[in-house]
A and B are shown apart, each in its own frame.
Chain A
Amino acid sequence: MKRRHFLGLLGAAGVTLGSGATAKAASLGDVKGLPNAGGVLFDASRCIGCRKCEAACNQVNDLPKPAKAFDDLTVLDVKRRTDAKSYTIVNKYVPDAGKPPVFRKIQCNHCMEPACASACFVAAFKKSETGAVVYDPDVCVGCRYCMVACPFNIPAYEYDKAFTPRVMKCTMCQPRLLEGKLPGCVEACPKEALIFGKRRELLNIAWDRIGGNPGRYVEHVYGEREMGGTSWLTIAPKPSFAAIGMDETLGTTSAPELTSGALAAVPAVAGIWPVLLTGLYAISKRKEKIAESEKQAAVAAAIAKASADAEAKLSEELGKAEVANKRRIEVEVKKALEAAAKAGEEGEDA
């Protein structure tokens, strides 16, 4: 078999296995098995950009004090992202010039099938029963593949720590949830732009608001299906989610599904290659053997032919030599006879 044939086969095997297999995120279990998982609904049309959620988050998570105080709203003039010192931030957008700005809160969206959990080679991320995606710094190696994988650019890294750097991201206040409290940001929001609840109930509320205020909201709940769905849901005023910096092109395929095909190819490769390669080795070995025996046969034939030729030549030469000898003998005999005859004649004469 040629290499190209093999690659074709490999591709076919990968596709077949990939379409049938479902690789799920580590210890995620079946997402449908988390019907009571909590979540948060963020209504961007209610957010006033007061940054009280940022302050509360900073406080309940014992994060370092920021350079500018939380009541300093000039911070909103530049676009920020989450970093190692802030699990959540609020950005200001002006979708329509002249109209009031729209604010968007950014934090971990707590995916139903988290890209970070799927990507982590040491299973440091887990989707918990509460709905929170939590991180275990005690096993983290710091490869930062979670940051590459996250479609929302959420996890941040403590690049400045030499010995104990951690990935930093919102935990949905998991410790507080387990104590029966609300997430810090939700509790602090003065406008009820954030509400905590069971995800499926939040979805109903979101759609009720969209349906109950015709023309006000984009007719879409961000996070209902994005990347397989997220526990944190967002609804936004018109014109679009893109206008407040949210990626509308993510699609509904969850992160684990994106890599399950490639992972499914592993058993195919590990299963087919050894058999195939040993076979190829056997074939090349056999070819060598055949070539060798053919060579030997050819050599033997050549030798046989050569010796036959030589023999024929020898016998020919011998034959020739015999004829020549005969001739010579004949000539000698003739000569002797002639000499004898001559002598006889001479004798008669005498």
Chain B
Amino acid sequence: MSTETQKGTLFTPWNIVAGIILAAGVVVTIMRFTMGLGAVTNLSDNNPWGIWIGFDLLCGVALAAGGYTTSAACYIFGFKRFHGAVRPAILTAFLGYALVVFALNYDVGRPWRLVYPIFYQQGTTSILFEVGLCVFIYLTVLFLEYLPAALEWKRGFDKYRDILVKLTMGLTILGVILSTLHQSSLGALYLIAPSKLHPLWYTPYLPVMFFMSSMFAGMSMVIFEGTLSHKHFHHKMDDEYNLGYEDLQMAFSKAAAWIMAGYLAMKVLGLAMDNRWQFLGTGYGVWWLTEVVGFVALPCYAYAVAYRDRNLKLARFTALWTVLGIVLNRFNISLVAFNWQLPSVDRYFPSAGEIIISLFVVTIGVIAFRFIVTRMPIFYVHPAYKDSSH
């Protein structure tokens, strides 16, 4: 990712890779919408959900949780010094959710009917209905939270911008409610299939676990995104952002360590409650321990150490580690431990087309993020709004 030197060459390594992914993505997109899901995916009757759900939806939503955690910390819990981090976090979340919905258009059979459950016929007994409704409303909320930045950029919309800024508190609370509901519901989706999900992962705590893990996923993503942004957009950042930046990374390290400890306790409690210890001795048990010890317990400890020693480098490394742990957890639940009893020939592995679309979606996200932060007041307070920033 080169910095925005307009006259520089277009052929930076990042641009070339991004270009290839975009081109491949367009080809697969055309195939998907003219030849059907079967032409580009490895989905089957036994494996109706692949990485477009396991990664694009489950990981996308969890990793976009930085929006509600950061804005709640700043506006509700009164950590005013994190104010500079709110806009980048909201932008990341907004783009994350927008891309989740974008990617869903690939996955569902008839995407033009995606609004049916909301506006046409409601299946209110479905957990997926709850997810859909919350994601739909929350995407709107995130858009409204992001909008002031765009309006400040284009100028001349001060009246609307001021109204939106006044709504900040209400939108933040609404965001937390909606996030609680749909983050947990994504876990609750799997409650209906106890016979398909491995007993080590299937627990009535799934919704609470998904919600808890979304909190430290979001915080880790804020640390991770902040670190990357510092590398590439440092010239865009003002003093307020820079002053709070390291403080925020430390505070989120501490918070994440605590929540991960609670999450860990819940994981153990889940095993104890259903007395499923005997599965730990199996191959799946080893894999479960890899996830829980290697990608929750250890990063939890590392975060705590990073906070104690004020070791920013360790905190940033741990953020990436935790993000990978979240991806591993969501993959395990949706793919690895799902359909665990099926013979291996009936198991799922993503096709090249599915992987290309997932990369395509992430690339669009990075490009959109870069487009916005190099133009709109995300990392700095717009000079014209210094006194009315919310």
Residues of A within 8 A of B (CB): 3-4, 7, 10-11, 23-26, 81-84, 115, 117-124, 139-145, 147-149, 151, 153, 155-166, 247, 249-251, 255-256, 258-259, 261-263, 265-266, 269-270, 273-274, 277-278, 280-281, 284-285, 287-288
- Residues of B in contact (CB 8 Å), total 63
> Given contacts A7-B208, A258-B194, is CB(A263)–CB(B49) below 8 Å?
no
Which residues of chain B are near A124, meaning CB under 8 Å?
Answer: 123
CA distance A122 to B124 in the complex (A): 8
- Are B48 and A147 in contact, with the CB atoms below 8 A? yes
Given contacts A81-B45, A148-B192, 4 further A-B pairs with CB under 8 A are A145-B48, A148-B196, A165-B37, A262-B188
- Are B38 and A159 in contact, with the CB atoms below 8 A? yes
Residue of B nearest to A28 (CB): B125
- Among B38, B169, B185, B212, max chain A CB count under 10 A is at B38
Which residues of chain B are near A262, meaning CB under 8 Å?
Answer: 127, 184-185, 188, 191, 207
Which residues of chain B are near A159, meaning CB under 8 Å?
Answer: 36-38, 41, 43-44
- Contacts between the two chains (Cβ within 8 Å), count: 189
- Are B116 and A284 in contact, with the CB atoms below 8 A? no
- Are A83 and B173 in contact, with the CB atoms below 8 A? no
- Tell me which residues from 188 to 244 in chain B have a Cβ below 8 Å from any Cβ of chain A: 188-196, 204, 207-208, 212
> Given contacts A159-B38, A162-B35, is CB(A141)–CB(B195) below 8 Å?
no
- Are A263 and B208 in contact, with the CB atoms below 8 A? no
Which residues of chain B are near A118, meaning CB under 8 Å?
Answer: 125-126, 192
One digit per residue, 1 when the CB lies within 8 angstroms of any chain A CB and 0 when it does not, for chain B 31-54 equals 001111111010111101100000
Which residues of chain B are near A143, meaning CB under 8 Å?
Answer: 107-109, 128
Which residues of chain B are near A278, meaning CB under 8 Å?
Answer: 173
Which residues of chain A are near B121, meaning CB under 8 Å?
Answer: 122-123, 139
CA distance A335 to B45 in the complex (A): 121
Which residues of chain A are near B34, meaning CB under 8 Å?
Answer: 162
Residues of B within 8 A of A (CB): 33-39, 41, 43-46, 48-49, 72, 75-78, 107-111, 113-114, 116-117, 120-130, 132, 169, 173, 176-177, 180-181, 184-185, 188-196, 204, 207-208, 212, 259, 262
Which residues of chain B are near A259, meaning CB under 8 Å?
Answer: 125, 127, 188, 191-192
Residue of A nearest to B120 (CB): A139
Q: Give min CB distance, B35 to chain A, whole Å.
A: 6
- Are A139 and B126 in contact, with the CB atoms below 8 A? no
- Are B191 and A83 in contact, with the CB atoms below 8 A? no
CA distance A144 to B53 in the complex (A): 11
- Are A285 and B78 in contact, with the CB atoms below 8 A? yes
**Interface of chain B, helix or strand or loop or mixed?**
helix
- Are B181 and A148 in contact, with the CB atoms below 8 A? no
> Of A26, A141, A258, which one neighbours B191 at CB under 8 angstroms?
A258
> Given contacts A121-B126, A159-B36, A262-B207, is CB(A165)–CB(B46) below 8 Å?
no
- Are A157 and B194 in contact, with the CB atoms below 8 A? no
Residue of B nearest to A125 (CB): B123
Which residues of chain B are near A287, meaning CB under 8 Å?
Answer: 78
> Of A24, A140, A277, which one neighbours B110 at CB under 8 angstroms?
A140
> Of B77, B117, B130, which one neighbours A122 at CB under 8 angstroms?
B117
CA distance A155 to B190 in the complex (A): 17
Which residues of chain B are near A140, meaning CB under 8 Å?
Answer: 109-110, 113
> Given contacts A142-B109, A148-B48, A273-B180, is CB(A115)–CB(B37) below 8 Å?
no
14 A-B interface contacts by CB (under 8 A)? A141-B110, A141-B111, A142-B109, A145-B128, A151-B193, A153-B46, A155-B45, A158-B109, A159-B41, A256-B125, A266-B130, A269-B177, A273-B177, A285-B78
Q: Give min CB distance, A136 to chain B, whole Å.
A: 9
